Chain A
């Protein structure tokens, strides 16, 4: 009479659709919550999901029910002190005591935030939504320019350099065996007869002589089978397969001169991290090159990049020169998508700024997918900004933005990488 059905393995994730609907409906609120979360906390947390809270009233489902007021008469349990006719003061705030405001009247009016957990994927989807690396599309369309060769078995024709000796010899041996076997059988037979004659002692008989002649003919025939024939040759087969470019290098350039204080550095850091995170979405492998500079540039590791203190004047071009050199040295083979991000307070030695402009425009931008410059300053644009502004118009893979506080990063980031309509 009873039926026991094990449903554990079917229809997993039945609520996924409802969940998506929910996300879609409250996208605005969720997006806002996400962007607030990003501003308020360390960027490393981006790898995890995010707890999102939405004001409950935004997603309440209204219904008709009683509100406060009127006459309520309700039964409570656990009487420990009351007798009929007692008058009690109204408890403040509707506490647990003998409040006449029943729960029925309060339901649905809690103003607590509705809190739920976004998965990492959902979070990043939202974060990167309608952000797209500029020119990425174009690069993607054009990226089948890079091939790699890979082995694909053996073929029977090719260039001598690719001859596979083992395969060829193995083929030749087989062919020789196959072609020679009828003669070899006969040869063995004749040889046996000859041996018999020899055993009887009439080696010199006519019979033996004829046998020897025949053996000689057969031997010659077998030997005429060529040791190796062009037919036997096997070549290593290599084919070209298109290889999508899945690697990128990201240059982080930062001014660490005296004018860049800790706060500015940390603002810059967040920007780099966001860029890095975004690149990890698009590329399998990413190299990061950290270059910091004051009057001279130095390639450093990440820790040193963000944490060590330097001071002194500022020659921005030194970093650009170094970036150019590293580019040429390590990443010039066309297999790298190159991104540059530069953070500075814009305070440069005056005569150096035009140099920077030229360097960037002529020697770096042509190689780059994208180069972003952020100027972390609250004041007037500095001379580097003015110089860069000239370049901005000429190169569409160059962008610059000004940031004043950490809270500005996210909007700036979006601005920098917003969808380019190609």
Chain B
């Protein structure tokens, strides 16, 4: 088929040395094929960086700019150590969900690797960022870089004005609550730099006046005190701790609120990535595989290129079995890739089982099905919807039930007809954020008393909080400024006090 191709294509450059021109040519060809498969992407910006810069980017959570914090330094040291000892290859790509989409290529990659990264990141991830509903809702690709620049400036200004120490303590506390700093259900307004700057001042002043309402409620003595059940504040439990603190912590200065907000915004930005790992990585892996194979079939790629590419590819999608020493949970690349491949198969060559399980998509146009699936799901729902018996069989999946009240572990389902649905449900649940992360919400603020803040942990299947909760509560106390408590609701609905950090902080020392 290669020989009979209508136009005589000029093969892409071979060898392992890359040059700007060769990268440009690869990109052009990959873009052409991506368009052929109707991938809708942001414009691509390819940046060549050194290994050190890659580690920099790694350390600051993959963003090209970020504020300074010791924890990023710690991550850098850890990465550097691993890299220098050769224990760890660097991820060969980092891609930034921005418009234009920035894909980093590391200078020491070989040409085939660069081609792979371009296909994977610049077209795979890129189209996912642009299409998936979570990213469309939660992130604003046009503004993220600007926002990070704003955040970095703001925080370094704060450091100058209030001291590095002060800002660092604040950031520590915010980071501890980072994964509780997201709105899981509420839809956010879009960010834009201009608006953000404009509103920042107003917000600071406005908020400060708002917060004082907490104080103002003090003198309102209720005549029938004690007979009436006290109104709770907030009236509804609040899941976004950082948001609640930003808006309501009595003692925070305006700049501290802004810093809390910055951390919250960044946490929110990464929120979709945490929920679409399998889908997103699988999608990108599927597309680099498909795009490069397409180019090979056109006769553009040399065999040597394909060998190197396939070697990397198979390493990435390897899933070790449970009893292997390499086993570290399910490899999202492997699962995602297998699922997308399987959806394509179901569309193109469905068998009876597929028709039974997926009547809507069996035999449908695979590109349309792909587009729909990519746009409208996250890991949890994607698995619940599309994980097919074939993939479960191929992975030889089985589910283990570990109940700490039982002596033994139980195999609750395996990859057989009786177990497919059960396995799929359990796996889907594993990616459910509600199951993965503890459910902790703001329950009450004692407005009339000591202004203490009470959080409530509602355990999911009796899973307790890890021991670091105590430490986290200290951070909450630092932010809140008064006593904070953590309660846990047991199965009977009774609240028990888990942690209490007493804090009688006053802005001005009381006269003794």
Closest Cβ of chain B to A31, distance in Å, is 16
Residues in A neighbouring B50, C-beta threshold 8 A:
8, 12
Contact across chains for B100 and A18 when beta carbons are under 8 A apart: no
Residues in A neighbouring B397, C-beta threshold 8 A:
75-77, 79
Stretch at the interface among B130-138, B139-147, B272-280, B324-332: B324-332
Contact across chains for B464 and A86 when beta carbons are under 8 A apart: no
Q: When chains A and B are docked, how far (Å) is the Cα of A5 from the Cα of B49?
A: 9
Q: When chains A and B are docked, how far (Å) is the Cα of A89 from the Cα of B53?
A: 47
The closest CB in chain A to the CB of B107 belongs to A8
Is B440 part of the binding interface, using a Cβ–Cβ cutoff of 8 Å? yes
Contact across chains for B23 and A88 when beta carbons are under 8 A apart: no
Q: When chains A and B are docked, how far (Å) is the Cα of A71 from the Cα of B31?
A: 48
Contact across chains for B409 and A89 when beta carbons are under 8 A apart: yes
Residues in B neighbouring A68, C-beta threshold 8 A:
404, 464
Is B459 part of the binding interface, using a Cβ–Cβ cutoff of 8 Å? yes
Given A15-B56, A64-B468, A66-B466, residue A78 in contact with residue B402 (CB < 8 A): no
Q: When chains A and B are docked, how far (Å) is the Cα of A409 from the Cα of B157?
A: 44
Stretch at the interface among A33-41, A100-108, A179-187: A100-108
Tell me if B's interface is mostly helix, strand, loop or mixed. mixed
Interface centre among A62, A64, A108 (most CB of B within 10 A): A64
Contact across chains for B28 and A2 when beta carbons are under 8 A apart: yes
Residues in B neighbouring A408, C-beta threshold 8 A:
none
Is B36 part of the binding interface, using a Cβ–Cβ cutoff of 8 Å? no
Is B260 part of the binding interface, using a Cβ–Cβ cutoff of 8 Å? no
Residues 157-176 of chain B, each 1 if its beta carbon lies under 8 Å from chain A, else 0: 00000001000100010011
The closest CB in chain B to the CB of A51 belongs to B81
Q: When chains A and B are docked, how far (Å) is the Cα of A102 from the Cα of B327?
A: 11
Contact across chains for A61 and B27 when beta carbons are under 8 A apart: no
Contact across chains for B323 and A96 when beta carbons are under 8 A apart: yes
Q: How many B residues are at the interface, by size bracket?
A: 35 or more
Contact across chains for A77 and B53 when beta carbons are under 8 A apart: no
Is A63 part of the binding interface, using a Cβ–Cβ cutoff of 8 Å? yes
Contact across chains for B43 and A104 when beta carbons are under 8 A apart: no
Pick from B164, B426, B459: contact of A74, CB below 8 A. Answer: B426
Residues in A neighbouring B437, C-beta threshold 8 A:
64-66
Is B244 part of the binding interface, using a Cβ–Cβ cutoff of 8 Å? no
Residues in B neighbouring A80, C-beta threshold 8 A:
321, 323, 396
Q: How many A residues are at the interface, by size bracket?
A: 35 or more
Contact across chains for B408 and A88 when beta carbons are under 8 A apart: yes
Contact across chains for B323 and A8 when beta carbons are under 8 A apart: no
Given A82-B398, A114-B78, residue A103 in contact with residue B324 (CB < 8 A): no
Contact across chains for B68 and A73 when beta carbons are under 8 A apart: no
Is B47 part of the binding interface, using a Cβ–Cβ cutoff of 8 Å? yes
Is A67 part of the binding interface, using a Cβ–Cβ cutoff of 8 Å? yes
Pick from B78, B412, B436: contact of A73, CB below 8 A. Answer: B412
Is A21 part of the binding interface, using a Cβ–Cβ cutoff of 8 Å? yes
Is B24 part of the binding interface, using a Cβ–Cβ cutoff of 8 Å? yes
Q: When chains A and B are docked, how far (Å) is the Cα of A102 from the Cα of B330?
A: 11
Residues in B neighbouring A59, C-beta threshold 8 A:
74
The 10 A-B pairs with the shortest beta carbon distances in the complex, nearest first, are A100-B402, A78-B321, A22-B73, A18-B73, A70-B463, A70-B462, A67-B466, A62-B471, A71-B461, A21-B70
Chain B positions within 8 Å of A, measured between CB atoms, are: 20, 23-24, 27-28, 31, 43-50, 52-53, 55-56, 59-60, 68-74, 76-78, 80-81, 84, 100, 107, 122, 164, 168, 172, 175-180, 319-325, 327-330, 395-404, 407-416, 418-419, 423, 426-427, 429-430, 436-438, 440, 459-469, 471-472, 475
Q: What are 17 A-to-B residue pairs whose CB atoms are below 8 Å?
A: A4-B46, A4-B47, A15-B55, A18-B60, A61-B71, A62-B471, A64-B438, A66-B437, A69-B464, A72-B402, A75-B399, A76-B327, A77-B319, A78-B319, A84-B411, A102-B329, A103-B328
